[in-house]
Chain A
Amino acid sequence: MAEEHVITDSEERIFVAGQMQLMWWRFRKHRVAVVATFVVVAFYVVVLAADFLAYTDPNTTEAYRLLMPPQPIRFFDNGSFRPHVYAVSGKRDLKTFKRVYVADPNKKLTVRLFARGYKYKLLGFIRTDRHLIGVEGATAAESLFLLGTDEKGRDVWSRMMVATRTSLTIGLVAVALSLVLGVFLGGISGFYGGAIDSVIQRLIEILRSIPTIPLWMGMAAAFPREWSVEQIYFAITIVIALRGWTGLAREVRGRFLSLREEDFVTAADLAGCSRKRIIFRHMIPSFQSHIIAAATLSIPAMILAETALSYLGLGLRPPAISWGVMLQQVQNVEAVALSPWLLVSAVPVIVVTLAFNFMGDGLRDAADPYGI
């Protein structure tokens, strides 16, 4: 007689856990992915509270504060905790014609939390003028420069907060569009097979074998000059999604092909389920986690696409603010050498790309039922 297997508590929990619960347990073990998820969430908090975290209106230009280097906040004043910044005054160096800035250690401006600043709507509907930080006794635009200012005298920190909102939502919108196209075309391809499958597969192969950046550049250059910021925003997401759906479609098709032969699908078919019900009720729930992982992994590519296009001056244009638009100001060695702090917008691009990649990897591993 075979020895009886005793079902332990933890095993029983695994038997009754749903797909999402299992995924969560496996995802939790992937330390890097969990950390990456926190990073991504933090970035989206910035997206929601961009105006609150900024302290100067990102479009305000300050003619006397051009290309200011970053200025540190001093936390202690004579041993007591009192965050402050020194007041600065700018002069033109008559030899080099460069603006130089001198901090005056005698004039201290207190930095305080929840200070009043420019008016905005928090989350789009709460009218307020409170910002996370601000200075007393002067306007923030003239005295607070955590990350310096750009060549028009606009505050880099505040612009970066607002740019985060643009760059990260453009990634989501583009992925959403790609997902719709990818699931639809990939689903048709995998479910019906045959001639329609060949046509879609060849289309994907062709699209994937054309270098994307030149193609995007060509299309983006054709956006009329008079288009508004919003119109260009959506046009860009469409241009990016036109290529982005191919990867997701392949994923969906692969899943459909492997599931089509599964017993539970045959069973559903024999039980008289309609095609629609088989697809939406039985097939999609069993691979939606893979699709979520694949979509997560494709977000960074979309963000990079927008950044690259805007950097070249073919994507979003001022007054829109995105990481790429901000990086436009560092096009050559001279700009990089004279104002290296403008490169700071590259940091969030790199961090968020890595975070999405790690998070997507973790999700993919967690979604794989045969993974360890």
Chain B
Amino acid sequence: MLAYAARRLVLAIFTLWTVTVLSFVIIQLPPGDFVDAYMAQLSATQSNVSEQHFESLRRQYALDRPMYVQYLKWMSGVFSGDFGTSMMWRKSVLDVIGDRLAMTMVLSLGAIILTWAIALPIGIYSAVRQYSIGDYVFTFIGFVGLGVPSFLLALVLMYLGFTLFDSDIGGLFSPEYQLEPWSWGKVKDLIYHLPLPAIIIGLSGTAELIRVMRANLLDELRKPYVITARAAGMSERSLVLKYPVRVALNPFASTVGYLLPYILSGSVIVSVVLGLPTLGPLLLGSLVAQDMFLAGTIVMMLGALTVIGTFLSDLLLMWIDPRIRFGMVQ
């Protein structure tokens, strides 16, 4: 068991490292260095730009040194909480990001919880009542959910919301709470606005999970122990819920690993469409403006969120699946 956890941990750390390297590559990708771009931008808006300021910036980020030194310099900054400066906002990257990271986490977590909450009962229903009308309906919805990309769904719902209910479904807060500091009212407002974007983001994941749940449960339901229990007179309800469902539950934990990158990806683009105050729109804005430290940091944070989430789901899987706990599965 410990070996399993340790191996997962090593892989997570290694992935995290790859994420930082990729983020650094993204920062380096645009032609010219960051100070050149900054200088061009500053001289476009201000007349007196001091050459010394740029020299000190160059030294700070070791731009005259080889690439790996620059990477190490950036990483040591990251570890001490300094993610670099945002050119566009003239503030430190952390200040610009503010509570958007937390918002992204809330939204993704909400999407995952909704995904589970919807997929679990539907998956059980579809398996137990295989080939019933309900099963066909859910299968169809599931296929549509797989086929319709989340941002298009957001667009279409936005249009329907506008024409049918005359309301703007975008945003995570009502206008009156937008700039307010946090309060109970604002939290309630957030809870009220959260489900729709969360469902949009989670839809394709939900569709996938329903299919996996249905298939797994169908396999379990055909096994002899189910027939034995039924023959022994166990009620159908507790029979299904107590044993086969528990075995079929594994994908719920194990799919977090691929659900999370999926949901974070989806959250980025859906947030842009719906104008949600998460990392997504900020990432797009920073990329368009070639504000690379901000963009790189956001990519790194999204990557880190995924890696940590995946690692936690591995631990969860270990907890619910005795086969892994006792080292029977590699």
Binding site for B on A (CB under 8 A): 202, 205-206, 208-215, 217-219, 221-222, 224, 300, 304, 307-308, 311-314, 327, 330-333, 336-337, 340, 343, 346, 349-350, 353-354, 357-358
Say yes or no: A314 contacts B287, CB within 8 Å.
Answer: yes
Known: A210-B22, A333-B168. A346 touches B155 (CB 8 A): yes
Closest 4 CB pairs of A and B: A222-B29, A218-B26, A221-B287, A354-B147
B283 touches A211 (CB 8 A): no
* Contact pick for A206, options B15, B23, B168, CB 8 Å: B15
Is B143 located at the chain interface by the 8 A CB criterion?
yes
CA distance A274 to B257 in the complex (A): 40
B26 touches A349 (CB 8 A): no
Contacting pair B284 A346 (CB below 8 A): no
Other than A221-B30, A349-B149, give 8 A-B pairs with Cβ distance below 8 A: A202-B14, A215-B26, A221-B287, A300-B147, A308-B269, A314-B287, A330-B155, A337-B162
Q: Is the CB of B152 within 8 A of A211?
A: no
Chain A nearest Cβ from B169, distance in angstroms: 8
Q: Is B146 an interface residue (CB 8 A)?
A: yes
Interface pair A218/B152, CB less than 8 Å apart: no
In the complex, per-residue mask of B288-312: 1 if CB is within 8 Å of any chain A CB, else 0: 1010000110110011001100100
Give the Cβ gap from A91 to chain B, nearest Cβ, in Å: 25
Quote the shortest CB–CB distance from B34 to chain A (angstroms): 13
- Write out the residue numbers on chain B whose beta carbons fall within 8 Å of the beta carbon of A213: 265-266, 268-269
Whether the Cβ atoms of B149 and A353 lie closer than 8 Å is yes
Q: Does B57 contact A (CB under 8 A)?
A: no
Partner of B284, one of A209, A217, A330: A217
**With A215-B299, A217-B287, A224-B31: A205-B152 Cβ-Cβ less than 8 Å:** no
> Does B261 reach chain A (CB closer than 8 Å)?
yes
A residues less than 8 Å from B113 (CB atoms): none
Bound Cα distance A188, B257 (Å): 25
Q: Which residue of B lies closest to A313 (CB)?
A: B288
Residues of A within 8 A of B264 (CB): 211, 214
- Which one, A202, A209, A336, contacts B307 given CB within 8 A? A209
Return the CB mask of B197-237 against A: 1 if under 8 Å, else 0.
00000000000000000000000000000000000000000
Beyond A218-B26, A224-B31, whether A358 also contacts B11 by CB under 8 A is no
Tell whether, in the assembled complex, residue A210 and residue B261 are in contact, meaning their CB atoms are under 8 Å apart.
yes
B interface, how many residues as a size bin? Answer: 35 or more
| Residues of chain A within 8 A of B152, CB atoms compared | 327, 346, 349-350
Contact between A343 and B156, CB atoms less than 8 A apart: yes
Contact with A along B26-55 (1 / 0, CB 8 A): 100111000000000000000000000000
Q: A357 and B147: CB pair below 8 A?
A: yes
Query: Is B275 at the interface (CB under 8 A from chain A)?
Result: yes
A221 to B27, CA, bound (A): 11
Docked pose: A308 CA to B159 CA in angstroms: 18
Chain A residue nearest in CB terms to B303: A210
- Given A221-B288, A312-B284, A333-B162: A211 touches B149 (CB 8 Å cut-off): no
Do B295 and A218 touch across chains, with their CB atoms under 8 A apart? yes
Q: How far is the CA of A307 from the CA of B150 in the complex (A)?
A: 12
A221 and B306 contacting across the interface, CB-CB below 8 Å: no
- B80 an interface residue at 8 Å Cβ cutoff? no
B151 within 8 A of A: yes
* Partner of B275 from A202, A300, A332 at Cβ < 8 Å: A332
Contact indicator A209/B287 (Cβ below 8 Å) = no
**What residue of chain B has the Cβ atom nearest to residue A307's Cβ?**
B149
Residues of B within 8 Å of A206, CB to CB, are 11, 14-15, 18
- A357, B287: Cα distance in complex, Å: 32
Contact with A along B308-325 (1 / 0, CB 8 A): 001000000000000000
Contact, CB under 8 Å: B268 / A214: yes
8 residue pairs A–B, Cβ–Cβ below 8 Å: A210-B261, A213-B265, A213-B268, A221-B29, A221-B287, A330-B155, A353-B147, A353-B149
CA A212 to CA B265, docked complex, whole Å: 6
Q: Do A209 and B265 have beta carbons less than 8 Å apart?
A: no
Shortest CB-to-CB span from B257 to chain A, Å, is 7
Q: Is there an interface contact between B307 and A211, defined as CB atoms closer than 8 Å?
A: no
Q: A210 to B148, Cβ gap below 8 A?
A: no
Contacts of A300 in B (CB 8 A): 147
Chain A residues near B159: list those with CB within 8 A: 336-337, 340, 343
CA–CA, A308 and B306, complex, Å: 20
CA distance A349 to B272 in the complex (A): 19
- State whether the Cβ of B170 lies closer than 8 Å to any Cβ in chain A: yes
Is the Cβ of B287 less than 8 Å from the Cβ of A218?
yes
| CA–CA, A353 and B258, complex, Å | 20
What B residues does A353 contact at CB under 8 A?
147-149
Contact present for B302 and A211 (CB under 8 Å): yes
Residues of chain B with a CB closer than 8 A to A327's CB: 152, 155
Contact A211 B306, CB 8 Å, known A218-B296, A332-B275: yes
Closest-CB distance, A244 to chain B (whole angstroms): 14
Q: Which residues of B contact A218 (CB under 8 A)?
A: 22-23, 26, 29, 287, 295-296, 299
Of chain A, the residue at the smallest CB distance from B18 is A206
Shortest distance in angstroms between B200's beta carbon and chain A's nearest beta carbon?
A: 14
Which residues of B have CB within 8 Å of A331? 273
Contact B19 A210 (CB under 8 A): yes
Q: Which residue on B lies nearest to A352, using beta carbons?
A: B147
Contact partners of B258 in chain A: CB under 8 A: 208-209
Give the residues in chain A near B148, CB-CB below 8 Å.
Answer: 350, 353
Select one of B14, B151, B170 contacting A308, CB under 8 A.
Answer: B151
Say yes or no: A333 contacts B284, CB within 8 Å: no
Residues of B within 8 A of A214 (CB): 264-265, 268, 283, 298-299, 302-303
Query: In the complex, which residues of chain B have a beta carbon less than 8 angstroms from the beta carbon of A215?
Result: 22, 26, 299, 303
What are the residues of chain B within 8 A of A340 when measuring CB–CB? 159, 163
Q: Which residues of B contact A350 (CB under 8 A)?
A: 147-149, 152
Q: Check B241 for interface membership: any CB of A closer than 8 A.
A: no
Evaluate contact between B275 and A312: CB separation under 8 angstroms. no
